[in-house]
Amino acid sequence: MSGKERTDVKALEKRIKELEKQLELAKMKNVGLNTIIDIAEQDYKLEIRKKSGPKQ
């Protein structure tokens, strides 16, 4: 492998690590927001989430 190829591989590996970190943060945010919605629906007897399925 040439020096340029090694540099490219290192840059790609760094980018992968950054994206994995962003993905982990997005997953944690999703869990947190879903928890907040669940609590609000229970405490305030609200339907916050839309029901899926055909509309009539």
Q: Is residue 24 part of a domain?
A: yes
pTM for this prediction: 0.75
Q: Is residue 12 part of a domain?
A: no
Q: Is residue 31 part of a domain?
A: yes
Quote the percentage of the chain above a pLDDT of 90.
77
Residue numbers of the domain that contains 38: 20-45
Structural domain count, the chain: 1
| pLDDT per residue rounded down to tens, the chain (56 residues) | 788 899 999 999 999 999 999 999 999 999 999 999 999 999 999 999 988 877 65
Q: What share of the chain is helix, strand, coil (3-state, %, to 5)?
A: 75, 0, 25
Q: Is residue 39 part of a domain?
A: yes
Query: pLDDT tens across 28-41, in order?
Result: 999 999 999 999 99
Instruction: Classify 26 as helix, strand or coil.
Output: helix
Q: Is residue 54 part of a domain?
A: no
Q: Is residue 3 part of a domain?
A: no
